[in-house]
C-alpha cells in the first residue's frame, strides 16, 4: 500500500505521516511545497526509512503533480495541503484561492488521469481522500444543534469559503467522472508540532515568555477541540475503510469557549511550568482582550457519531489529557519551536526526493 499525502510537512499532515511510519508498514510519499507552514523537523529523523519519500512540489504545478503520480503510483491520496490560517486569509485571500481551490482542482485532474490509466484491479481500489474542515458549515451562533454531514454549507471567511469550494469540486469529480473520493470535515485540532501562530501554541509560548495572552473579542467563541493524533488515526481509517462517496465529520466532543481554553492552559502551565518569568504572579494575569477578528464565527460544534458508528473511531484523549500532553510537549521540545521562531526550520530540506536520507 502506498499513500500519497499532500501537505505532509504541516501540522496535521505530519501527524498522519508519523502515525503511518510508526504504526503501519504502508509506503508514504510526502508531497509538500514547504510554505511557511511546512516544517520537515515535524517528521523526526528516527522515523525516516525507505518507507518514506519527500517530494518538494506545489499542488498548483500540474506538470510536477503528474510526474509524482507517474513516478510513485500511489494507491491512495490523502489531500491535506492547504493554506489554513483564517487571519492570513483575511489579510491575503489570494494564496487561499490559489492553493485551496486551484491546487485542489489540479490534484483532482491529475488523480483522474492517473486513475483512468490504471489496470482494473488497482483502478478499483484507488481512493482520493480530501481533508476538510467544520468551518465550511458556518456559524452556529444562537443555535443549539451540531453540524452533521448533511448540514448545508455556509462559510464565513475566505479560508472556509475556499475549503468549501474545494469540497464541492471533490464531490463534482465523484459524481461527474466517477473518481472514488471521500471527504472528512474536522473540528479544531491541537497538539504537538502546531505552528506557533495558532491559538494554543501561541498562548503556551507567550505565557512561557511572560508575554500578553491576547484573546479576540470577549473570548466567548466556542470551538470543538480534537487532539491531533486522534485526528490522524481517524484520517487513515477513513482513507482505508471509509465508504466511497461518503463524508465523515470528525470531532472531539470538546466544546470549549476560547477564554476557557486559555484558562485551562494557564492552569496546566501553573502545574507543569511553575517557575515563571520575573514579575508574573499567575499565568492567568497575562490574559488581555483585543479587537475581534472580522466575521468571527461564534460557535462550531460537530456531531461525530457517523464515523464512530460506521468505522468504530472515537477520540482517545479528553481535552484535559490532551492539553497536558501538549503543554508538556512544548516544554520538552524547545528546539523545535525555537527553530520555528528563528526561521531556521525553513533551512531544512532534509530527505528531498531521497527516501528520507
**Interface contacts to ligand NAD, rule CB under 6 A:** 6-7, 9-13, 32-35, 37-38, 58-60, 80-84, 99, 103, 131, 133, 163, 186, 188-189, 195
Smallest separation, CB 4 to ligand NAD (Å): 12
| Contact status, residue 2 vs residue 29, Cβ threshold 8 Å | yes
With respect to ligand NAD, which residue has the nearer C-beta, 134 or 207?
134
Cell numbers for 206:
507567550
Using CA atoms, how far residue 130 sits from 70, 97, 125, 257, in Å, is 20, 16, 16, 28
Smallest separation, CB 60 to ligand NAD (Å): 5
Task: Please give the Cα distance from 59 to 312 (Å, whole number).
Answer: 32
Which secondary structure element, helix H or strand E, spans residue 249, and what is its range? strand 247-250
Distance of CA 227 to the CA centre of its chain: 11
| Contact status, residue 179 vs residue 115, Cβ threshold 8 Å | yes
Smallest separation, CB 210 to ligand NAD (Å): 27
Spell out the residues 6+ positions from residue 41 whose beta carbon is closer than 8 angstroms to its own. 336, 339, 345, 348
Q: What are phi and psi of 275, to 5 degrees?
A: -80, 100
With respect to ligand NAD, which residue has the nearer C-beta, 286 or 326?
326
Q: What is the dihedral of CA 171, 172, 177, 178, to 10 degrees?
A: 20
Nearest one of 155, 169, 164, 58 to 104, comparing CA atoms: 169
With respect to ligand NAD, which residue has the nearer C-beta, 17 or 268?
17
Q: Which residue is nearest to ligand NAD (CB)?
A: 10
Smallest separation, CB 192 to ligand NAD (Å): 12
Smallest separation, CB 271 to ligand NAD (Å): 25
Q: Which of 52, 114, 159, 300 is catalytic?
A: 159
With respect to ligand NAD, which residue has the nearer C-beta, 163 or 283?
163
Q: Which of 83, 134, 229, 297 is catalytic?
A: 134
Pairing state between β 52-55 and 76-79: unpaired
Q: Which of 41, 83, 135, 230 is catalytic?
A: 135
Smallest separation, CB 352 to ligand NAD (Å): 13
Nearest one of 218, 214, 217, 219 to 286, comparing CA atoms: 214
135 has catalytic annotation:
yes
Distance of CA 3 to the CA centre of its chain: 17
Q: How many CB atoms lie within 10 A of CB 154?
A: 14
Smallest separation, CB 124 to ligand NAD (Å): 27
With respect to ligand NAD, which residue has the nearer C-beta, 286 or 301?
301
With respect to ligand NAD, which residue has the nearer C-beta, 27 or 42?
42
In terms of residues, how long is the chain? 357
Spell out the residues 6+ positions from residue 327 whose beta carbon is closer than 8 angstroms to its own. 204, 265, 268, 269, 272, 273
Grouping H, G, I as helix, E, B as strand and the rest as coil, residue 146 is: coil
With respect to ligand NAD, which residue has the nearer C-beta, 80 or 268?
80
Active site residues: 134-135, 159
Amino acid at each position: 500500500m502506498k499513500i500519497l499525502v499532500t501537505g505532509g510537512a504541516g501540522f496535521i499532515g505530519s501527524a498522519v505521516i508519523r502515525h503511518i511510519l510508526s504504526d503501519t508498514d504502508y509506503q508514504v510519499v510526502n508531497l509538500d511545497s514547504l510554505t511557511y507552514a511546512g516544517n520537515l523537523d515535524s517528521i523526526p529523523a528516527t522515523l525516516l526509512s525507505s518507507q518514506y519519500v519527500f517530494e518538494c512540489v506545489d499542488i498548483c504545478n500540474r506538470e510536477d503533480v503528474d510526474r509524482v503520480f507517474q513516478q510513485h503510483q500511489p494507491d491512495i491520496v490523502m489531500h491535506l495541503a492547504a493554506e489554513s490560517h483564517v487571519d492570513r486569509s483575511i489579510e491575503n485571500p489570494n494564496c487561499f484561492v490559489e492553493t485551496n481551490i486551484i491546487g485542489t482542482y489540479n490534484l483532482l485532474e491529475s488523480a483522474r488521469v492517473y486513475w483512468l490509466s490504471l489496470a482494473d484491479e488497482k483502478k478499483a481500489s484507488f481512493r482520493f481522500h480530501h481533508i476538510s474542515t467544520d468551518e465550511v458549515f458556518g456559524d452556529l451562533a444562537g443555535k443549539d444543534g451540531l453540524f452533521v454531514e448533511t448540514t448545508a454549507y455556509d462559510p464565513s471567511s475566505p479560508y472556509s469559503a475556499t475549503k468549501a469550494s474545494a469540497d464541492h469540486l471533490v464531490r463534482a469529480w465523484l459524481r461527474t467522472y466517477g473518481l472514488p473520493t471521500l471527504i472528512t470535515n474536522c473540528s479544531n485540532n491541537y497538539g504537538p508540532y502546531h505552528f506557533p501562530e495558532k491559538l494554543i501554541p501561541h498562548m503556551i509560548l507567550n505565557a512561557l515568555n511572560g508575554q500578553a495572552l491576547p484573546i479576540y473579542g470577549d473570548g466567548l467563541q466556542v470551538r470543538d477541540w480534537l487532539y491531533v493524533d486522534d485526528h490522524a488515526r481517524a484520517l487513515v481509517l477513513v482513507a482505508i475503510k471509509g465508504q466511497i462517496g461518503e463524508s465523515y465529520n470528525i470531532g472531539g466532543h470538546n466544546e470549549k469557549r476560547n477564554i476557557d481554553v486559555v484558562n485551562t492552559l494557564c492552569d496546566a502551565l501553573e502545574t507543569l511550568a511553575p517557575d515563571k518569568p520575573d514579575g508574573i504572579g499567575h499565568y492567568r494575569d497575562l490574559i488581555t482582550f483585543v479587537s475581534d477578528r472580522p466575521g468571527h464565527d461564534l460557535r462550531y460544534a460537530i456531531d461525530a457519531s457517523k464515523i464512530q458508528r460506521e468505522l468504530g473511531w472515537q477520540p482517545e484523549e479528553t481535552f484535559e489529557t490532551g492539553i497536558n500532553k501538549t503543554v508538556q510537549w512544548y516544554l520538552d521540545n524547545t528546539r523545535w519551536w525555537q527553530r520555528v521562531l528563528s526561521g531556521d526550520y525553513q533551512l531544512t530540506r532534509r530527505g528531498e526526493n531521497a527516501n528520507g536520507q
